[in-house]
């Protein structure tokens, strides 16, 4: 491995992103589908039901699936146009090897040879440097079966502790906070519980662009009388019509929650009965919050005192409520504290575990929930078991037919894995559906690390920007080319169904993983012939764990249109086998039983009580300062998804939002002498970017916003800081100090790159 | 087949999130050959994220048809105004200029006016229009009056509009807030950052009074009740 094998423009010329737009053939009324396949969208964590129109082994369109209860046929623009990636000309249909002599930097090689090459290189590196010299990076868009298999592959076949996944960049702060407060990490209620609540608090979540279907639940709740509170530095479409808007300064969320809780304590808007009966630790939290007087909170957060008062009053005096948050408060170096702050508000109100009263974290990626439950996270084994817990290790080793001593210990988070590459401790890397060169912060560092690898193999269906560095690329499968389960935002396990076969030499990802295991010479445990078999083993592996899937079957999912976990195969109280456990739509209901509390209470701790945790406010690392006086925040736009590997290839979606812009308030723009549409340069301690300005009054005047879906010179993550939360290790994407100036003219790239590139 | 006359189309700009799922879905319809017949307009992006989806309002007395010199624009018996008929349309653009809602568009390459026909291929066989089916915020809704009354107690459907001396009634309804004076939503973050923001108010002048006016109590209902067709 070294630098990328050809001029990036030549690689783009050959492998894209090129646009796929609709063709005349698909528009002819005479083209009728052979069949409709009920499945789910391939993008975000809402996992909307959709029916794909299939003709001649090609997905040619879609038909809404109105019976699916979560979205009732509704789709966002990405869901509508997702079918256009199926027969995309950029699609990888053969294995590739790095070939600097080729103009495009890569040449094809037979699939079998590619597998042998990957296996040989892994074996060579491990023989020289030990098993831990290989790192594995997974993806939270993979089905649960694939993530389970990948975790098993890393630990059993490669015997390396170093596996982590791109969910690390998504919602691990929320997960860690949930675990600290509730002992379990799952949204507590189905979304339908929002309709009928008194108050909905949306903290740091641009639902309209990141999870559009959720807006209908919010709007419907509003029609039924709910007051909507939105906390965001930007007026997002959900904030536009909310009843109370809290224009929080980026990175000050924990302070806001502490200040609001302090008002609730002062006014005694608390549920004392619930706090006494079901929680521990309130006194410490109250002592901490006493420091957060109203004036201080207003000063730190930038939210006026009257708005804080109103928020506390509405939240404190409501009878029912729903609070949810997303990356806006989680993508921080104190993201866990921010999330704990929201949980403290929920616990103090006592409104959890009841109909119309809930708490949730919005999943960003397709399988953000299931993908972190079954073993591709560096510290977890299947069923949410702890890799450091001897009992848990014993159980999983038994399922996998190995000795517990053979199981590696905990690894490191995805960013730390790159630091290990930088230090020369990890020499080889295998990644699947992960594009860290676009999605990790401070991506110049990531590029440097990729250049240091001795060997890198990537599995993906398009040649993403990270795979440019690969020695071997294995052609994986699209969402519609495989079957398996996914767990969506509500904790509902659903079934993705196969619509078409993989083209050319492309293979289902689980087959590729198994092929490597066989070529390495350790096929034991990697002889599954279909995803269903993997799921059957996963059911056993998860049994008795917190994320218990043992009562879930493919048939039950299809029949019930999804099953909420935990779903038991035997009564956890008596151990008597049950076949028809319906799953658990709502957690923590009075009298509910869980294997941790064993009847002591609804929360997943031995005493059955939830934990208040002091949610300590710390200013962000790399905060705005005299030198870098503006806050930079990043996020999504509705027509693009994550690193854009898929959506930047879909013509109509690109047309909708062709390129990133720097969003800024007119006051800031006037100060900088920039007008709407002019080129502006933003600079942080790590890099600079030149994009067109979008001047709007819907953002704080001290803050700029850049969407992050683009690569290379348009990548927002050239600027962001790799500061991580000490507990969850999530990077601080949502704030860093920045300065902005008017650009001298268009950047060099403007003359050569297409908008989507 | 005709569109059932108990099913209506409702637009609720207050719900619109500007995602363009409607625009993308409309272009999937076989009859439009890949063109979207919906315009998704930002009212003023510099000052607000407010967007409005614009579809054909399907006027009871369509001005576009009245001004058409070639008699190319036909209204079906169930009240759906169709795109211009290919053999008759002379692409003169009279309809474009005359439509008070700014809907029809002449496609110069094909020399024809095309516009939303309420997914006639779908609505005439018992399906919902594609845009209303997919709209993730249900700013576009297709169903019965009873459903919309149950689902939207805070707003009322309006289908009478005044343009100068011209009064127009339409098959498509716009949902407007029942309160005649509503507090305007935030348009500038700085207003929310101030301790005492200016009290903004907008007045809505409605033509005619909605059937069920003020004070209707919210009712329990399924937010996603399906349309029975």
Cβ pair B15:A246 closer than 8 A: no
Let me know how long chain B is: 229
**Residues A188 and A324 occupy one common structural domain:** yes
Cα gap A586→A596, rounded to integer Å:
17
> Cα A441 to chain center, whole Å?
15
Give residue-wise pLDDT tens across range A347-378.
999 999 999 999 999 999 999 999 989 999 99
pLDDT score of B65 more than 50: yes
Q: Is the model's pLDDT at B6 over the cut of 60?
A: yes
- The first and second tokens of residue B132, run together, are 């209303």
Residues 6+ apart with CB under 8 A from A138: A146, A147, A150, A151, A163, A164, A165, A166, A371, A376, A431, A432, A433, A434
Which stretch of A201-205, A507-511, A538-542, B186-190 has the lowest confidence by average pLDDT? B186-190
Of A192, A215, A245, nearest to B136 by CB-CB distance is A215
DSSP three-state, residue B42 = strand
What pLDDT is stored for residue B179 in this prediction? 72
Residue A26 has pLDDT above 60, yes or no: no
Task: Tell me the pTM.
Answer: 0.95
Identify the helix (H) or strand (E) that includes residue A554: helix A554-560
ipTM: 0.96
Q: Provide the pLDDT for residue B204.
A: 60
Query: Are both A26 and A137 inside the same structural domain?
Result: no
Asked whether A435 and A105 are in contact (CB, 8 A), the reply is no
Asked whether the beta carbons of residue A247 and residue B135 sit closer than 8 angstroms, the reply is no
Tens digits of per-residue pLDDT, A547-573?
Answer: 999 999 999 999 999 999 999 999 988
* Interface test mutation site (partner A, options B189, B216, B225, max chain A beta carbons within 10 A): B189
pLDDT of residue A572: 85
Q: Cβ A77–B190 below 8 Å, yes or no?
A: no
Query: Which residue out of A47, A197, A697, A702 would a mutagenesis test of the B interface target, given it has the greatest number of B Cβ atoms within 10 Å?
Result: A697
- A127 with A207, same domain: the answer is no
Q: What is the pLDDT of residues A197-243, one digit of tens each?
A: 999 999 999 999 999 999 999 999 999 999 999 999 999 999 998 99
- Select the residue from A219, A664, A667, A678 to test the B interface by mutation, using most B Cβ atoms within 10 A: A219
Regarding whether A202 and A149 lie in a shared domain, the answer is no
Are residues A259 and A335 both part of a single domain?
Answer: yes
Tokens of A572: 């956890």
Would you say A254 and A338 are in contact if contact means Cβ atoms under 8 Å apart?
yes
Residue partners of A574: CB distance under 8 A and separation at least 6:
none
Q: Choose among A637, A643, A638, A631: nearest CA to A714.
A: A643
To which residue do tokens 């993908």 refer?
A: A371
* Confidence at residue A24, expressed as pLDDT on a 0 to 100 scale: 47
Q: For position A434, which CATH number holds? A: 3.40.50.740
pLDDT band at B215 (very low <50, low <70, confident <90, very high): very low
The total domain count for chain A is 4
What is the enclosing helix (H) or strand (E) of B9?
strand B8-11
Q: What is the mean pLDDT of residues A240-248?
A: 94
Instruction: Tokens for A15, please give them.
Output: 């492998």
Query: How wide is the angle at C-alpha A726 spanned by C-alphas A724 and A729, nearest 5°?
Result: 50
Q: For residue B224, which residues of chain A lie inside 8 Å, CB to CB? A: 69, 72, 216
**In angstroms, rounded to a whole number, what is the distance separating the alpha carbons of residues B114 and A198?**
45
Q: Is residue A221 part of a domain?
A: yes
pLDDT of A423 above 70: yes
pLDDT of the residue at B181: 53
**Under an 8 A CB cutoff, do B48 and A216 touch?**
no
Report d(CA B147, CA B175) in Å as an integer: 13
Residue A656's domain spans which residues? 630-742
- Both A673 and A726 in one domain: the answer is yes
Q: Say whether pLDDT at B200 is over 70.
A: no
Residue A271 and residue A212 share a domain: yes
pLDDT for position A29? 53
Beta-carbon separation of B134 and A234 below 8 A: no
A430 in Cβ contact with A459 (< 8 Å): yes
Residue A28 has pLDDT above 80, yes or no: no
Asked if residue A566 belongs to a domain, the reply is no
Rounded to the nearest 5 percent, the helix, strand and coil shares of chain A are: 35, 20, 45
Tell me if A703 is assigned to some domain.
yes
| pLDDT one-digit tens code per residue, A102-156 | 999 999 999 999 999 999 999 999 999 999 999 999 999 999 999 999 999 999 9
Quick one: B146 exposed, middle or buried, by C-beta within 10 A (0-12, 13-18, 19+)? exposed
For the B8-194 domain, the top CATH level (class) is: alpha beta
A648, A654 Cβ separation under 8 angstroms: yes
Q: Rounded to a whole number, what is the largest CA-CA distance in chain B? A: 63
The answer to whether the CB atoms of A638 and B18 lie below 8 A apart is: yes
Indicate the length of chain A as a whole number: 757
Residues A212 and A342 in one domain: yes
- For residues A383 and A431, membership in a common domain is answered with yes
Position B184 pLDDT exceeds 80: no
Closest CA to A487 of A57, A15, A171: A171
Compute the mean pLDDT over every residue in chain B, rounded to the nearest whole number: 86
Token duo for residue A133: 């010299």
Domain boundary among A36, A67, A84: A84
Cβ partners under 8 Å of residue B148, min gap 6: B8, B10, B141, B157, B173, B175
Residue A510, pLDDT > 50, answer yes
Residue A237 located in a structural domain: yes
Final residue in a domain of this structure, among A361, A386, A401 = A361
- A85/A649 Cα distance (integer angstroms): 7
Same domain, yes or no, for A127 and A243? no
A409, A162 contact by CB (below 8 A): no
pLDDT for the residue numbered A17: 96
Write the CATH number for A78: 3.30.200.210
What pLDDT, on a 0 to 100 scale, did the predictor assign at position A374?
A: 94
The alpha-carbon gap from A566 to the nearest alpha carbon of chain B, in Å, equals 26
Q: Residue B131 has what pLDDT?
A: 96
Do A76 and A136 share a domain, yes or no?
Answer: no
Closest-CA distance, A47 to chain B, in angstroms, reads 13
Instruction: Give the CA-trace dihedral at A450, A453, A457, A461, to 10 degrees.
Output: 10
CB contact under 8 A, B30 and A27: yes
Q: What is the pLDDT of residues B69-85, one digit of tens each?
A: 999 999 999 999 999 99
Q: Does some domain include residue A271?
A: yes
Q: What angle do CA B4, A69, A567 make, to 5 degrees?
A: 160
Asked whether the beta carbons of residue A80 and residue B15 sit closer than 8 angstroms, the reply is no
Domain end position, chosen among A313, A336, A361: A361
To the nearest whole percent, how much of chain A has pLDDT over 90? Answer: 96
Residues A199 and A136 in one domain: no
CATH number of the domain enclosing A702 = 2.40.40.20
pLDDT at B208 over 60: no
Q: Does the pLDDT at position A2 exceed 90?
A: no
**Alpha helical stretches, state H, B108-156:** 120-123, 130-134, 145-151
Average pLDDT over residues A652-672: 96
* Phi and psi at residue A87, to the nearest 5°: -105, 35
Q: What is the pLDDT of residues A696-736, one digit of tens each?
A: 999 999 999 999 999 999 999 999 999 999 999 999 999 99
Provide the token pair at B4: 């059932």
* Residue A666: closest C-alpha in chain B: B46
CA pair distance A644, B151, nearest whole angstrom: 36
Contact A74 B133 (CB under 8 A): yes
Residue of A nearest to B17 (CA): A237
Distance of alpha carbon A482 from alpha carbon A494, whole angstroms: 14
The pLDDT of residue B228 is 29
Closest CB from B21, B30, B154 relative to A76 = B21
Residue A642 in this model has a pLDDT that exceeds 80:
yes
The label of the residue with tokens 């979205």 reads: A71
* pLDDT category of residue B197 using cuts at 50, 70 and 90: low
Kindly state whether residue A748 falls inside one of the protein's structural domains: no
Q: What angle (nearest 5°) sits at the alpha carbon of residue B149, between those of residues B143 and B151?
A: 75
For residue range B84-127, list pLDDT tens digits in order.
999 999 999 999 999 999 999 999 988 999 999 999 989 999 89
- pLDDT-derived band at A71, boundaries 50, 70, 90: very high
For the cut 90, the answer to whether the pLDDT of residue B222 exceeds it is: no
Count the neighbouring beta carbons within 10 Å of the beta carbon of residue A527: 10
């Amino acid at each position: 491995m070294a630098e990328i094998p050809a001029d990036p423009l030549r690689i783009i010329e050959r492998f894209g992103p090129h646009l796929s737009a609709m063709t005349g053939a698909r528009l002819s009324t005479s083209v009728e589908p052979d069949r409709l396949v009920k499945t789910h969208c391939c993008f975000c964590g809402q996992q909307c039901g959709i029916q794909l129109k299939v003709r001649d082994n090609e997905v040619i369109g879609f038909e809404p699936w109105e019976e699916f209860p979560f979205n009732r046929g509704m789709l966002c623009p990405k869901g509508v146009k997702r079918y256009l990636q199926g027969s995309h000309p950029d699609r990888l249909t053969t294995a590739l090897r790095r070939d600097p002599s080729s103009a495009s930097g890569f040449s094809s090689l037979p699939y079998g040879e590619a597998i042998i090459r990957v296996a040989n290189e892994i074996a060579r590196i491990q023989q020289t440097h030990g098993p831990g010299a290989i790192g594995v990076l997974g993806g939270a868009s993979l089905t649960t079966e694939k993530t389970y298999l990948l975790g098993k592959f890393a630990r059993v076949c490669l015997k390396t502790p170093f596996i982590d996944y791109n969910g690390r960049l998504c919602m691990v702060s929320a997960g860690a906070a949930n675990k600290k407060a509730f002992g379990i990490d799952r949204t507590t209620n189905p979304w339908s519980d929002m309709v009928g609540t008194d108050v909905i608090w949306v903290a740091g979540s641009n639902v309209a662009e990141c999870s559009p279907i959720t807006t209908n639940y919010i709007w419907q709740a509003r029609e039924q009388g709910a007051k909507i509170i939105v906390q965001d530095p930007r007026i997002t479409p959900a904030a536009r019509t909310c009843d109370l808007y809290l224009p929080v300064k980026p990175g000050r969320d924990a302070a806001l929650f502490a200040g609001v809780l302090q008002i609730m304590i002062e006014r005694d808007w608390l549920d004392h009965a619930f706090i006494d009966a079901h929680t521990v630790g309130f006194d410490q939290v109250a002592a901490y919050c006493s420091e957060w007087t109203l004036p201080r909170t207003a000063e730190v957060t930038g939210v006026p005192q009257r708005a804080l008062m109103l928020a506390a009053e509405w939240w404190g005096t409501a009878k029912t409520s729903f609070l949810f948050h997303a990356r806006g408060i989680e993508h921080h170096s104190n993201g866990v504290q921010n999330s704990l702050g929201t949980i403290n508000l929920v616990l103090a109100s006592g409104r959890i575990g009841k109909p119309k009263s809930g708490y949730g974290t919005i999943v960003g990626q397709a399988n953000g929930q299931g993908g972190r439950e079954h073993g591709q996270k560096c510290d977890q084994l299947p069923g949410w078991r702890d890799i450091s817990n001897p009992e848990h290790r014993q159980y999983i080793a038994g399922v996998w037919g190995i000795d517990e001593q053979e199981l590696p210990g905990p690894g490191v988070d995805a960013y730390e894995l790159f630091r290990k590459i930088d230090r020369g401790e990890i020499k080889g890397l295998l990644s699947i559906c992960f594009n860290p060169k676009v999605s990790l912060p401070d991506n110049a560092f990531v590029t440097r690390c990729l250049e240091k690898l001795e060997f890198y193999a990537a599995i993906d269906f398009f040649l993403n920007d990270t795979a440019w560095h690969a020695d071997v690329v294995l052609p994986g499968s699209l969402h519609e080319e495989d079957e398996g389960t996914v767990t969506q935002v509500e904790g509902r396990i659903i079934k993705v169904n196969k619509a078409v076969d993989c083209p050319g030499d492309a293979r289902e990802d689980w087959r590729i993983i198994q092929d490597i295991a066989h070529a390495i010479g350790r096929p034991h445990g990697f002889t599954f012939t279909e995803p269903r078999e993997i799921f059957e083993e996963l059911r056993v592996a998860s049994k008795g764990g917190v994320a218990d899937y043992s009562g879930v079957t493919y048939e039950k999912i299809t029949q019930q249109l999804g099953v909420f976990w935990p779903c038991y195969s035997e009564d956890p109280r008596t151990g008597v086998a049950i076949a028809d456990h319906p799953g658990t739509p709502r957690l923590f209901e009075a009298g509910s039983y869980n294997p941790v509390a064993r009847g002591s209470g609804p929360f997943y701790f031995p005493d059955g009580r939830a934990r208040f945790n002091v949610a300590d406010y710390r200013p962000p690392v790399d905060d705005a300062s005299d030198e870098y006086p503006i806050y930079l925040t990043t996020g999504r736009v509705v027509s693009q998804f994550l690193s854009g590997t898929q959506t930047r290839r879909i013509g109509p979606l690109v047309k909708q939002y062709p390129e990133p812009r720097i969003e800024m308030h007119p006051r800031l723009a006037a100060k900088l002498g920039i007008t709407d549409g002019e080129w502006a340069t933003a600079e942080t301690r790590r890099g600079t970017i030149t994009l067109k300005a979008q001047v709007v009054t819907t953002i704080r005047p001290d803050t700029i916003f850049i969407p992050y879906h683009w690569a290379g010179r348009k990548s927002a993550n050239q600027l962001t800081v790799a500061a991580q939360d000490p507990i969850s290790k999530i990077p601080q994407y949502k704030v860093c100090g920045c300065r902005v100036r008017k650009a001298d003219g268009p950047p060099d790239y403007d003359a050569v790159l297409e908008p989507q590139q | 087949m005709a569109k059932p006359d108990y099913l209506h189309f409702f637009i609720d700009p207050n719900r619109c999130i500007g995602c363009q799922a409607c625009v993308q879905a409309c272009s999937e319809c076989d009859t439009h050959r890949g063109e979207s017949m919906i315009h998704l307009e930002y009212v003023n992006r510099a000052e607000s994220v407010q967007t409005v989806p614009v579809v054909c309002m399907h006027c009871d007395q369509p001005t576009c048809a009245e001004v058409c010199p070639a008699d190319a624009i036909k209204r079906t018996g169930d009240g759906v105004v169709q795109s211009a008929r290919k053999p008759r349309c002379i692409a003169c653009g009279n309809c474009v200029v005359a439509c008070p809602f700014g809907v029809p568009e002449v496609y110069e390459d094909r020399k024809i006016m095309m516009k939303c026909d309420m997914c006639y291929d779908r609505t005439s066989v018992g399906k919902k229009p594609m845009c209303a089916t997919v709209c993730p915020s249900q700013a576009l809704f297709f169903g019965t009056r009873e459903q919309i009354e149950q689902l939207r107690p805070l707003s009322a459907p309006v289908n009478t509009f005044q343009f100068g001396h011209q009064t127009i009634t339409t098959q498509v309804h716009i949902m407007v807030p029942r309160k005649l004076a509503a507090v305007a939503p935030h348009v500038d973050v700085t207003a929310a950052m101030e301790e005492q923001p200016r009290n903004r108010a907008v007045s809505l002048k409605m033509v005619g009074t909605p059937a069920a006016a003020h004070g209707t109590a919210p009712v329990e209902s399924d937010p996603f009740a399906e349309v029975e067709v």
